[in-house]
Amino acid sequence: MPHVLPALTTAVAAAAAVLLLFAGAGHARDRLRLRGVLRVQALLPRRAWGPVSTALGPVEIVVGLAALVGYAQAQAALYAVFAVYLTILRSRRSSAPCGCLGADEPATWVSVLRAVVAAAASAFAPVEMELTVRALCVAGGFVLAMIVILASLSPRDESRPGAR
């Protein structure tokens, strides 16, 4: 049982890394869209929109790749920043788009929780781990990330009460 927690944190950190790679690719591919989201969110100063929209995608990709090979400390810090940012966004501008995983929907407390869990798992994921165990954990993390990504891409049923 003592090996369960390191495996779990590694799998969740790997899932978080895959989500960063997915988000980073989208942000790097469409910087103008990200800049527009930052404009609507209106939390950062206007002069920061360009640099943030240019740097965020590549930073997410580099941090995600580093986390996949076992160095998740920067990922923990990045997700902690995301959690704080999303909390402020949710509190101050609840109708502004999240921009998470390319979504145009407003940030939710689930978005905040996802960032907190990713930060915590990344902070506690062990650097040293047997290669086969790490590979299995990363594979499990990949599956978990695909579930999150597919869920974020699926159309919402607006007719269902509480769908939003």
155 within a domain of the structure (yes/no): no
In a domain, 64, yes or no: yes
Residue type, 117: V
- Short-list 69, 96, 67, 95, CA closest to 79: 67
Rounded Cα–Cα distance for residues 100 and 41 (Å): 12
What's the number of domains the chain is made of? 1
Cβ within 8 Å of residue 164, ≥6 positions away:
105, 156, 158
Cα dihedral: 59, 20, 56, 33 (round 10): 150
Within a domain: 162 = no
Examine residue 77 and state whether it is found in any structural domain, yes or no: yes
Asked if residue 105 belongs to a domain, the reply is: yes
Which pLDDT score is estimated for 70? Answer: 83
Contact 60, 20 (CB under 8 A): yes
Residue 160 lies in a domain: no
85-131 pLDDT, tens digit per residue, is 999 999 999 999 988 887 788 989 989 999 999 999 999 888 776 76
pLDDT at 162 over 80: no
Does residue 42 fall inside a structural domain? yes
Segments forming the whole domain that contains residue 9: 4-150
Alpha helices in 42-105 (DSSP H): 46-68, 73-92
